[in-house]
């Protein structure tokens, strides 16, 4: 099968087109003929050597795909050969065929094609599990989303807006801010021109945001603490500006803040399966009726995975980037 592998850690050019044997599904697994694969920041980090795949996972990048099931493993009764699915993977998505655990496969929402469906699992699982499944964001609370024009950001804005939360977001250009407003953000803050701490305080009459979803890290961690409301929750899910930072814990203590971090890939299958069930129950109806949708910026053929990574690293995109296969 055709696939993309990481020759050695480095820039996008180390992504190499090659061929490998088609994998064989194990118990409770399915083999998917991949038609589209989402590109995500963890793929870039893996390519750079900063985010190795978990033990037992494929070294081929790619955490989400959509396509048709062509084979099922033993003990698999929930899916049939020929069914179209989108799936969350532990790796292996940048290839013609990929293995997925049967509990992490979901039907294609009726309004969407396979390219659109491939842009759903990683970001929707991430946002739903962090903000809603664990009841982190309570009714009536305000949400600040950093990186509002990213795949995670566009997803978080839509979901929080549909569930009647006030949503503030940051983005790096007026164009991106305008798009975030179209998605349902109440306020979009151009972080190149405005101080998001001051803006959030002004928007909340000095109170601050109840929940902050942060994928930036670095100096944003300290600034988040100042932008947070009393007893706010700050969720770190990525660190584009770095994972190491010095933090003054005094305001954390005085405000009784909760700072948490989370990843999706390394979680046990049982935890991710619980997320999948919750997403299918609560989010799929919103996708089916067109209330929300994945935002796709651009698609690239699988062989042009390096160009897709270059676009991802440029941060010039809005929403998701997807690789396509014939």
Domain boundary among 212, 234, 261: 261
What does the pLDDT read at residue 171?
98
Question: 235, 261, 287 — which closes off a domain?
Answer: 261
**Can you give the residue range of the structural domain that contains 298?**
2-120+265-324
Torsion of CA 141, 292, 216, 175, to 10 degrees: -110
pLDDT means per 10 residues in the chain (326 residues)?
97 98 96 99 96 93 99 89 98 99 97 98 98 88 98 98 97 98 98 98 98 96 98 94 90 97 94 98 98 98 99 97 97
Task: Write down how long the chain is.
Answer: 326
Q: Tell whether 128 and 257 lie within a shared domain.
A: yes
Contact 181, 172 (CB under 8 A): no
244 and 218 part of one domain: yes
Q: How many domains does the chain have?
A: 2
Q: Are residues 190 and 313 in the same domain?
A: no
Read off the CATH number of the domain in which 310 is found: 3.90.180.10
Of 226, 261, 296, the last residue of a domain is 261
- Pair type for strands 142-145 and 166-171: parallel
Do both 137 and 256 map to the same domain?
yes
Residue 91 contacts by C-beta under 8 Å, 6 or more apart in sequence? 53, 57, 58, 59, 60, 61, 62, 63, 265
Q: Tell me, what's the pLDDT at 75?
A: 79
Q: Both 14 and 99 in a single domain?
A: yes
- The answer to whether residues 129 and 228 belong to one domain is yes
Kindly state the greatest CA–CA separation across the chain: 60
Q: What is the pLDDT of residue 177?
A: 99
**What's the CATH code of the domain at 185?**
3.40.50.720
Same domain, yes or no: 152 and 105: no
Contacts of 205 (CB under 8 A, 6+ apart): none
List beta partners, residue 188. Answer: 169
- Please check whether residues 13 and 53 belong to one and the same domain: yes
User: In terms of domains, do 42 and 81 share one?
Assistant: yes
Looking at the structure, tell me whether residues 221 and 269 fall in a common domain: no
pLDDT score, position 134: 79
The pLDDT value given to residue 9? 97
64 with 168, same domain: the answer is no
pLDDT given at position 10: 98
Do 175 and 257 belong together in one domain?
A: yes
């Amino acid at each position: 099968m055709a696939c993309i592998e990481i020759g050695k850690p480095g820039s996008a050019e180390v992504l190499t087109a090659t061929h490998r044997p088609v994998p064989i599904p194990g118990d409770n697994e399915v083999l998917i003929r991949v038609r589209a694969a989402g590109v995500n920041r963890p793929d870039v980090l893996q390519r750079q050597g900063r985010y190795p795949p978990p033990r037992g996972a494929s070294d081929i990048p790619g955490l989400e795909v959509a396509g048709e099931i062509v084979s099922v493993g033993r003990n698999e009764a929930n899916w049939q050969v020929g069914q179209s699915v989108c799936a969350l993977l532990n790796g292996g998505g940048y290839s013609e065929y990929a293995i997925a655990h049967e509990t992490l496969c979901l039907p294609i929402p009726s309004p969407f094609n396979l390219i659109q469906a491939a842009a759903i699992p990683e970001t929707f699982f991430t946002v739903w599990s962090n903000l809603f499944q664990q009841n982190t964001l309570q009714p009536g609370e305000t949400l600040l989303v950093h990186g509002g024009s990213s795949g995670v950001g566009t997803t978080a804005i839509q979901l929080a807006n549909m569930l009647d939360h006030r949503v503030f977001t940051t983005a790096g250009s007026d164009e991106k801010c305008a798009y975030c407003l179209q998605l349902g953000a109440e306020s979009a803050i151009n972080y190149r021109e405005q101080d998001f701490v001051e803006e959030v305080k002004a928007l909340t009459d000095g109170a601050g945001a109840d929940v902050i979803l942060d994928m930036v890290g670095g100096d944003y961690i300290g600034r988040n603490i100042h932008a947070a409301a009393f007893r706010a929750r700050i969720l770190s899910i990525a660190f584009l500006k770095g994972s190491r930072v010095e933090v003054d814990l005094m305001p954390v203590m005085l405000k009784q803040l909760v700072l948490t971090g989370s990843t999706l890939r390394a979680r046990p299958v049982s935890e991710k399966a619980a997320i999948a069930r919750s997403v299918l129950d609560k989010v799929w109806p919103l996708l089916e009726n067109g209330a929300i949708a994945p935002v796709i910026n651009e698609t690239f053929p699988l062989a042009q995975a390096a160009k897709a990574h270059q676009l991802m690293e440029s941060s010039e995109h809005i929403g998701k980037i997807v690789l396509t296969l014939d």
